[in-house]
Amino acid sequence: MNSILLLHGGSLNQGMWAQQAEALKVEFDVHVLDLPGHGQNIKKPFTLETAIDEVHKYITSKIKGNTTIVGLSLGGYVAIAMHINTPRMFLN
């Protein structure tokens, strides 16, 4: 099963994806993550670098195989920055 990782927008948390995650789980192994400075990671300071590190750690420890990253607003910036800074993660 293909996996998908949903990254939330600024001032929000992974809960914003509840309805989408429920609908997508029929076809995907769905993952959601609170970025630093948000939700369960509120005490971790947010920088683009810390966000990239958190997402990278999550992908390598929790997701087996390739994943599609979907981000809204801030989450989209993190996904783009990951692609620019760690393109090897996105190669098959």
For CA atoms 71, 73, 78, 84, give the dihedral sign: positive
The total domain count for the chain is 1
The number of beta carbons lying within 10 Å of the beta carbon of residue 14 is 20
Closest to 14 in 3D by CA, of 39, 45, 36? 39
Range of the domain at 63: 3-90
CATH assignment at residue 25: 3.40.50.1820
**Residue 7 bridge partners (DSSP):** 33, 71
Each residue's pLDDT tens digit, 2-61: 999 999 999 999 999 999 999 999 999 999 999 999 999 999 999 999 999 999 999 999
Q: What pLDDT shows up at residue 88?
A: 64
pLDDT tops 60 at residue 91: no
Q: What pLDDT shows up at residue 1?
A: 82
